[in-house]
Amino acid sequence: MIENNHKPVAVIGAGPAGLYAAQYLARQGVEVALFNRDIKPGGLAEYGIFPDKVKMRTGLMAQFERILAMPNVRYRGNVTIGQSGDISLDQLRQAGFGAMMVTTGAQQNNWLGLPGEDLQGVYHANDIVFHYNRLPAYADQQLDFGRQVAVIGVGNVMLDVVNYLKGHHTPCTVTAYARRGPGEVKFDQQTLEPVAGCLDLEAIGEAVKEAYPSMASAGDAVRKFYALLVGAREKSAECDTGLTFRMRFLMSPLRLIGDESGRVKAIQFEINHLVHEGEAVFSRGTGRLETVAADTVIFSIGSRVNPDFGLPVAQGNYVTTPEPHFPIDGISYEVYNPDLCARCEDIFVSGWARLASEGIVGLARKDAERGARALLGYLDTLQPDATTSIDAVLTRLPRLDKKVVDFADLTVLSEEEGRIAAQQGLPAFKFSSNADMLDAIERGLARKL
């Protein structure tokens, strides 16, 4: 580890971006406090990635544990930062942190604002993802799926939702609706594989045929799309759970229609055509309408940052200055406040907080490490300060009226979950409420006395 006299840094959010930013800074000798709203670290690596991806999840968790065990990293879980949280950015600054890296991810669901989104049977994909991954507040939520499920959106999260339905709710027919054409689907072959055996290739063939006249270089796009389906299908087992999986293209939902009991029963779509501008492909409404039956509608259209955090937001992301002092590879990581016409010069942002719902863990890591480099550039401009230790800074923060979870507590929690899994003969066990996790930590600590 490099020795230096930099002031301690607060990293806010212990998802992949926060953890990798903390690791980067800690390896440069900076002392880092890592604040996290959730008790457990990992963000969407803990509460988003599909549970069957055991190898990936276990690998990430092992890396995260090594980061949290670094001697100059302090984990503070169960602490929400921000203007509506437990501690404000100003309080962090006043306590003596030299700079802040915001890696709070994209915490607010995107909706389209259509009539009928509040009907029964309408969900955001995150409701389902957080439910099966046991995120407190979602874990015990009752989900009431019907037999005709419509998913709006054609990305990897849509496929995770289909995969969950395949294992937990059949028989049913799931149709994923895309605004654009088969050439613009956003999923990859690997994520498709677990559900490729359920594809209704005949129905999808019809849907592709409908879209064909609107597609430029349609032959190429269709070949690429079918290569994706066939590649996934070759690696997948036959679907034996009674789920039928279809896709439709060039359809934008206009409104959801309810029945007399208040449950969704249909969606009205406008049919689109595609407009090609250079490499970009846009969809435009044709004015033609189609209504399809659906007793469950799931919006899988991504998320945006939390607007109540206290930083300026534009297009779902925290705003960065267009003229950064410390650009990395041409990218700005410095927060910008257009209302005050001032740069918040000690606040940096990376990961999904900078670009909401953009990319996988590898990309979040790259972004966080670039952001950490930018932040280091800023720290280098400050007066060296060898006297302010991270532990001294932490003692100057307001005392919270609740348990703040540190790395030692996390170790105890994971031992307690391991003990229950062993007792119940399960591969893994996860507490589904903060209260249960905090009780388990107390119990585990008492056992160690």
Interface residue list for ligand FAD (CB under 6 A): 12-18, 35-38, 43-45, 48-50, 53, 80-82, 85, 103-105, 107, 129, 157, 160, 309, 351-353, 359-361, 364
At closest approach, how far in Å is the CB of 295 from ligand FAD?
A: 23
Starting at the earlier edge strand, list the strands of the sheet with 148-152: 122-124, 296-299, 148-152, 172-177, 243-248
Residue 136 C-beta: closest distance to ligand FAD, Å? 11
Q: Which is nearer to ligand FAD, 310 or 444 (CB)?
A: 310
- Separation between Cα atoms, residue 246 and residue 102, nearest integer Å: 39
Question: Residue of minimal CB distance from ligand FAD?
Answer: 15
Shortest spacing between CB 221 and ligand FAD, in angstroms: 25
- Nearest distance from residue 303's CB to ligand FAD, in Å? 7
Q: H or E segment at 224?
A: helix 218-234
Least Å from the CB of residue 167 to ligand FAD: 15
Closer residue to ligand FAD, CB minimum distance, 11 or 379: 11
**Polymer length in residues for the chain:** 449
Structure tokens at 422: 């062993």
User: Residues 250, 206: contact at Cβ < 8 Å?
Assistant: no
35 or 177, CB closer to ligand FAD?
A: 35
Closest separation in Å from C-beta 144 to ligand FAD: 20
Tell me whether residue 13 or residue 96 sits nearer to ligand FAD (CB atom). Answer: 13
State the nearest-atom distance from the C-beta of 281 to ligand FAD, in Å: 24
Contact (CB, 8 A) for 244 and 174: yes
> Which secondary structure element, helix H or strand E, spans residue 342, and what is its range?
strand 342-349
> Which lies closer to ligand FAD via its Cβ, residue 43 or residue 183?
43
- 228 by Cβ neighbours in 10 Å (0-12 / 13-18 / 19+) ranks as middle
Q: For residues 351-371, b (16+ Cβ closer than 10 Å) or e, as one string?
A: bbbbbbbeeebeebbbbbbbb
The DSSP 8-state label assigned to residue 212 in this structure reads G
For ligand FAD, the closer CB: 52 or 259:
52
| Smallest gap from residue 352 Cβ to ligand FAD (A) | 3
Question: Whole-angstrom Cα distance, residue 203 to residue 40?
Answer: 43
CA distances from 111 to 152, 298, 304 (A): 10, 10, 10
Q: Which is nearer to ligand FAD, 42 or 183 (CB)?
A: 42
Task: Choose between 14 and 271: whose C-beta lies nearer to ligand FAD.
Answer: 14
Of residues 143, 114, 165, 118, the one with CA closest to residue 264: 118
Quick one: 338 or 359, whose CB is closer to ligand FAD? 359
Name the minimum Å distance from CB 273 to ligand FAD.
Answer: 30
For residue 324, cis peptide bond before it (omega within 30 degrees of 0): no
Alpha-carbon distance values, 30 to 27, 365, 373 (Å)? 7, 18, 12
Spatial CA neighbour of 310 closest among 334, 342, 333, 337 = 337
